[in-house]
Structure formats: C-alpha cells, structure tokens
Amino acid sequence: MPNVTQTVYMSDLLYGFMVFASEKMPGVSFPPGTYGQRPWHEFLYDIKKRLAPEFPELTRTLNCFDWDGPYPTNPTAAEMLHWIASLKCNVELDSGRIRPRMPSNSILPTTIAERMLEIAKTHHPEMLVLET
C-alpha cells in the first residue's frame, strides 16, 4: 500500500496553531485576521520554507504564494484569517488582535504546532504578544 500523506487544511493550520500557542502561553494574542495580515503571510512563508520538507502534509496547503506585492501572500490564508476573525463564537478581538476562545477541533499534529511555535518565538516575535 502506498504511503498516503494527509493534507493539513489552512483552517486547521491557522486556528490549530493559535489554540496550541494559547495553551502553551496563556494570555497570548495574535495579529488581526481582517487587516494587517502581513505578519501572518510572512510567518506562513517561513513555515513553508522550514517545515514543508519535513512535513509533506503541509506542501499542498502552503504551496500557493503570490509575489505581486511587497511580500508573499497566500490567498487561502487571507480568506481563512478573515473567516477566523469573523467567527465571534471562536475568537475574541482584543485591541484588534485575535485570541482563541474555544478548544480547537483541528487535526493539526502536535509536532507541527510545536515547531510552528518555536519558529514564531525565535523568528517572528510579532506573531505572539503576551497581554498583561
């Protein structure tokens, strides 16, 4: 039987990461999803470069980046970030930043979430703001 790689969907990647990081870092919030998406797109592009070779299940999700602007954008991520921010039942907006409210039903593997959090802490500190 061939080795079938499960795709991690963008909604699971984004919201699953936010929930995981919130559990590990209580009080953390994330850049807004309805405007100012540049930090998310740059973070996701870095995730693609660093993690896709190790986690092939991310390849399809992070494959499409548009370079027409000043930074790479992923159209699916843009739609999902807007969708996540508009789900008032799942997130709260605090000073324009996103904070997950409910546990995730995502299927984001813990190993991927852990690596994403490590990359965010090390290379993208603007992604994780601890509220006082």
Residue 94 is inside which H or E element, if any?
strand 91-94
pLDDT at 121: 95
> Which helix H or strand E contains 111, and what residues bound it?
helix 110-123
Q: How far is residue 79's CA from residue 75's CA, in Å, rounded to a whole number?
A: 6
Position 51 confidence tier, pLDDT thresholds 50, 70, 90: very high
User: In this predicted structure, what is the pLDDT of residue 46?
Assistant: 95
Tokens encoding 17: 């990461």
Average pLDDT over residues 101-125: 85
* Residue pLDDT, tens place only, 98-112: 666 655 566 788 899
pLDDT in tens, 56-84: 888 888 988 988 888 889 999 988 888 77
Band of pLDDT at residue 95, cut at 50, 70 and 90: low
Contact present, 65 and 45 (Cβ < 8 Å): yes
pLDDT of 18 strictly over 90: no
> For tokens 């870092």, what's the residue?
25
The whole-number pLDDT of residue 1 equals 42
Give the pLDDT score at 2: 46
Mean pLDDT of 19-48: 85
